Structure 1
Amino acid sequence: MFALPIFSQTYITNVTVADVINSQFVTNQTVVITGDQISDIQDAEKIKIPSGAEEIDGAGKYLIPGLTDAHVHFFQSGGLYTRPDVIDLRKFKSYEEEIDDAHEKAASIQRRYLQNGITDVIDVGASYRFLDRKEEMNKLQDGAHVMMTGPLLTTYEPAAYQGLEENSPFSLVMTAEEGREMVQEQLKYNPDFIKIWYIARSGNLGPEASARKFLPIVKAVIDEAHAHGLKVAVHATERITAQLAVENGCDFLVHSVEDEIIDDEFVNLLKTRNVVLCPTLTVHHGYDKTLGQKLNFKLHDFLKADPDDLGSLLDLQHLTDTVLISQYKRYINSPAAMANAEKEQSIGKANLKKLVDADVLIATGTDAGNIGTLHASSYLAELEAMKESGMNNWQILQASTINGAKILDQENEKGSVTTGKKANLVLLNANPITQLGNISDIALVIKNGMVFSPDTLIQNTPSALAQRQLNGYNSRNIEAFLEPYAEDVEIYSYPDKLLFTGKQQMRENYSKMFENTPNLHCELKGRIVQNNIVIDKERVRFGKKYFEAVAIYHIENDKIKKVYFIQ
């Protein structure tokens, strides 16, 4: 990683600037960064660069504003064990351990966001323990800036989260007065906004009757938050809850309406109230693919996600509660469940297109942290889903930059490449409008005027390299499997019998095995890391057979250079 001193002056020369406000490129520009701000933008020929200034050659590259993920949850990892209310696997990993892991990894997750060009994230539902850490988290210079609310104010609290106190992501409110009190309680922690989990679920009442039953609480929370200058986000997936929330002052809807096609009256309501909507199109896919055991990660996921969290999603292949796991797999893959999922996805995409066509403000958000929606790496899939819904690439770029800034009224500070705004920028190697995937082809990331090389933001630890190749192995993805290995890797049978050398020979050997062994799976039974050596104890399923093995990985220059197998 390299970072320029925060008060230095930096010149990005001969670059093509993305004007997200007017949906156009401005070519051959020089962008001047002084301190943490963009201090000047002019034609390259008009700016003389003083001697000693830091110069970045932007020729052939594209400068876009820093991206925003407007819907994340730091208290959730995106891994298999993070939602005990959805699938209870606490006998395999305690929820207390899961919580502690989330806190331990928070800084790394912030860095992963920045590595992916995401300079700002909005946590729309945290615990008091995390909210209390927000100021500390924002001292991290080489990680995404975090905006955060506290626990979700809700009339329904899943049993798995009861009694967690400072670690609970929910605050149960059953009266309007309790709602006002909970807002006041969060004020002590300096939240950036307030969040309501508006669940239309009460006994035998239908969605509308239930929504109206709890409306006085929702209104009380919104009014109390506004009285203290805080905006309010509302989780509302039914049209009636979304409508009632907006009619009563909600500022930010954090999901799509997925139970019915919205009408023009609803669209006009959002537009006239200037409400921002974050569609979160892919989060349900994460659950379905994980619990239905039909994961199909791309190389981008293997490289950019936390390897341990990604690896946990494959654990259903070896966990011993086969009855529970089989029940989930059968249900998720049943014709009825798949038809319902397809219906909800279709409605969500149709509604998004209708809102976009009416110029309702849309902000990109992933709901990262939920099972199967991994932090940082899931952003690209969300963008691709928005495109499938009918948004064009300029609209997607706007949703990911300037519209994200508008959620908390920060559009005058960030969200576009404009003189006087924060120097939160991403220098891309290729045009993101001709090809949306180019948004992940990043040359440099700039946060608060500091310049970072993305490849150096996350350290390739020996453990991470070993886990990445294991993830590729268990996914039978040959490119992901080979990525952590050196080109001249040496494979041994312990102690010193050389089996073969070179990544190309590995490709030939393992490609055949991956193709011919559909139920191939390696369970990691234990790991020891000593300096640059990783020792894994493994139980491998190969066809109908199981065998125990030990693999010893020697790391050199951030690659696996030698492997010794003991069988």
Structure 2
Amino acid sequence: MKIFFLTSIALAFSITISSQTYITNVTITDVENQKLIPNQTVVITNDLISDIQSSKNIKVPENAIAIDGTGKYLAPGLTDAHMHFSQNGGLYTRPDAINLQEFVPYGDEITTSKTTMENKLRRYLKNGITTVFDVGSPLYYLEKSKTFEDKYFAPTIYMTGPLSTTYKPEIYKDFPDDSPFALTQTIEEGIKSVQDQLPYKPDFIKIWYIVGADGLSVEESARKNLPIVKAIIDEAHKNNLKIAVHATQRITAQLAVENGADFLVHSVDDEILKPGFVQLMKKNKVVLCPTLIVSSGYANTFGQNLNFSPYDLKTANPFQLGTLLDLKHLSDTLLVNRYKAMGNSNERLEGLRREDSISRVNLKILLDAGVTIATGTDAGNLGTLHVSSYQAELKAMQASGMSNWQILVASTINGAKILNKENQFGSIAIGKKANLILLDENPIQNLENLTKINKVINKGVVFDPKDLVQDTPEILVQRQLNGYNFRNIEAFLEPYAEDVELYGFPDTLLGKGKEAMRQNYSQMFENTPNLHCELVNRIVQGNTVIDQERVQRGDKFIDATVIYTIENEKIKKVYFVRKQE
């Protein structure tokens, strides 16, 4: 895989840096008062909002940068309050969930995580996410995050190191320096897990409160490990660090909150919450990040029931998204069939439906009680792809009964409240960070309008979103391959030029134009059973990509070589090479 980034020279031409920027005649999305304020001018000086007035009261100086916001909506930059840099979202990212190291060694996956950290950040910013919380990764990422603090293309990062836990999956013991977990089986080890992070200056500490792995009941296990959990919480607070806790059972969540947890990073999914616990969360000002979609990512991948929208297929890292269909062609059919059967079993599906229903009911209960809700995806987990999963999470929150205003509040200023930074960012106000998104359409009318981004302003710098991540030839070819495999005609055609030409190698014209392709491939997608293209090998040379493919159509397999040539960031010509007899 090849990942390309903008050079520093190119970046200089793609962003606007000015001591003062004026966004004129814009409608402000006021998340603090939940109202739209039209005809405003917002002044940005360096990295702060320095003035907000009615446009008729402000004159733009000649030497300032002016952005016409007429007909547009200015919203605070979004926050993903739960993601992981050390996980990529693809099939091979969690070997403790499915071990496929005979195909992709976990060491290779670690290398991919480390080398694509900048690419992840660029993708987040391109899609209006100006703040991210990594709620658990190895120390490498915590240390590396500091190098992005002064980078305009990078969202603001808040993060912790390895998760303190009384249970560590066996497979990570082979990767001591790259494990996302710190095993804490005694009070002393719990305290040490906090102290070991302090030299790296984490923004908070996280506990992975896993119960039942010791053979005890959920409550017995939770209470047995509580002294260690409490010691970690106390040590973190002693060092002025807040505590996030992974607790999906009512008993673990309640014990965590009773003992000082500040931030619950998942919904409780085993019981409907009782009023006493709800009021305790509100009293203690505990923030909840519900992460409603992450479990379905695993289940749908294992059961081979994934269904991505054109937005997902265009926005996600295409290489990681493509791996999610590898179960269709991996040679270990016994393993694949076992996971497929598990993912589609009635017991598993019913359990997921029950957990999902309880999670959504509990979210509405907490929301109505006034508990602070912050949007987060748990991106990086298998099937929960970085950036693109954000819209799916918003839709799940909406289905739980949250209004569009409530969701926008959860996605902006409530993220800032996790670390008591709501006076620094999260809303459009004088003195706050100029982390903003300029939208072409009203986000309150439709949350999908959050994807219709005209400009991103990060740390006071104005970006055109398309300049943040380059569509390389390889990315374009991978996106069309993903669209093909998901039988999504819009996503398949998106990387192609309108006047694309298809040839039988070397020069026999087979067809021309995207609309002709639409007709032919739509019929194929609708009528061909077991349609799947496995990428066997790929060569990238300049604007040419050569793919060696193995295509399944029904019960037949076809070996093919396809040559793609790219012009102006679109696939312009395709050559199909016949296999020699």
Aligned residue pair count: 567
Q: Provide the residue aligned with 1:128 in structure 2.
A: 139
Counterpart secondary structure, 1:167: coil
Matched residue type, 1:176 = I
Q: Provide the residue aligned with 2:116 in structure 1.
A: 105
Q: Provide the residue aligned with 1:215 in structure 2.
A: 226
| RMSD (Å) for aligned C-alpha atoms | 1.0
Identity of aligned residues (%): 60
Q: Provide the residue aligned with 1:286 in structure 2.
A: 297
Matched residue type, 1:212 = R
Matched residue type, 1:448 = K
Counterpart secondary structure, 1:473: helix
Moved more, 169-178 or 202-211: 202-211
What's the CA shift for 1:301?
0.6
Counterpart secondary structure, 2:196: helix
What's the CA shift for 1:3?
5.2
Q: Provide the residue aligned with 2:193 in structure 1.
A: 182
Matched residue type, 2:561 = V
Cα offsets for 1:127-154 (capped at 9, x unmatched):
0111121111334321222111000000
Q: Provide the residue aligned with 2:216 in structure 1.
A: 205
Query: Is structure 2 residue 428 aligned with structure 1 residue 417?
Result: yes
2:15–2:464 CA contact under 8 A, matched in 1 = no
Superposed, which structure 2 residues align to 1:387-466 within 5 Å? 387-466=398-477
Cα offsets for 1:256-291 (capped at 9, x unmatched):
000000010111010000000000000011111111
What's the CA shift for 1:439?
1.1
Superposed, which structure 2 residues align to 1:465-480 within 5 Å? 465-480=476-491
Q: Provide the residue aligned with 2:7 in structure 1.
A: none
1:14–1:27 CA contact under 8 A, matched in 2 = yes
Q: Provide the residue aligned with 1:555 in structure 2.
A: 566
Measured in 2, the distance between the counterparts of 1:202 and 1:215 equals: 15
1:112–1:143 CA contact under 8 A, matched in 2 = no
Structure 1: give runs of 5+ residues left out of the alignment.
none
Runs of 4+ in 1 over 3 A off after TM superposition: 1-7
What's the CA shift for 1:203?
3.1
Against the structure 1 CA distance between its residues 518 and 8, is the aligned structure 2 distance closer, same or farther, given a 3 Å change threshold? farther
Q: Provide the residue aligned with 2:370 in structure 1.
A: 359
Q: Provide the residue aligned with 1:78 in structure 2.
A: 89
Counterpart secondary structure, 1:130: helix
Measured in 1, the distance between the counterparts of 2:415 and 2:248 equals: 20
1:7–1:36 CA contact under 8 A, matched in 2 = no
Measured in 1, the distance between the counterparts of 2:543 and 2:213 equals: 56
Query: Is structure 2 residue 502 aligned with structure 1 residue 496?
Result: no
Cα offsets for 1:341-396 (capped at 9, x unmatched):
00000000000000000110000000000011000010000000000000001110
What's the CA shift for 1:547?
1.2
What's the CA shift for 1:207?
1.0
Matched residue type, 1:477 = N
TM-score using structure 1 length: 0.99
Q: Provide the residue aligned with 2:202 in structure 1.
A: 191
Structure 2: give runs of 5+ residues left out of the alignment.
1-10
Query: Is structure 2 residue 153 aligned with structure 1 residue 149?
Result: no
Q: Provide the residue aligned with 1:324 in structure 2.
A: 335
What's the CA shift for 1:249?
0.6
Measured in 1, the distance between the counterparts of 2:154 and 2:205 equals: 24
What's the CA shift for 1:110?
0.3
Query: Is structure 2 residue 498 aligned with structure 1 residue 487?
Result: yes
Decide which of 222, 226, 250 is 1:239's aligned counterpart.
250
Counterpart secondary structure, 2:456: strand
Counterpart secondary structure, 1:224: helix
Superposed, which structure 2 residues align to 1:3-42 within 5 Å? 4=15, 6-42=17-53
Superposed, which structure 2 residues align to 1:338-357 within 5 Å? 338-357=349-368
Q: Provide the residue aligned with 2:5 in structure 1.
A: none
Counterpart secondary structure, 1:374: coil
Measured in 1, the distance between the counterparts of 2:15 and 2:482 equals: 35
Superposed, which structure 2 residues align to 1:240-259 within 5 Å? 240-259=251-270
Measured in 2, the distance between the counterparts of 1:221 and 1:76 equals: 24
Measured in 2, the distance between the counterparts of 1:20 and 1:330 equals: 45
Measured in 1, the distance between the counterparts of 2:154 and 2:301 equals: 28
Q: Provide the residue aligned with 1:381 in structure 2.
A: 392
TM-score using structure 2 length: 0.96
Matched residue type, 1:423 = A
Measured in 2, the distance between the counterparts of 1:200 and 1:387 equals: 30
Measured in 2, the distance between the counterparts of 1:289 and 1:137 equals: 34
Counterpart secondary structure, 2:305: coil
2:302–2:340 CA contact under 8 A, matched in 1 = yes
What's the CA shift for 1:84?
0.5
What's the CA shift for 1:543?
1.4
Measured in 2, the distance between the counterparts of 1:7 and 1:229 equals: 36
What's the CA shift for 1:202?
4.3
Cα offsets for 1:217-241 (capped at 9, x unmatched):
1111111111111111000000010
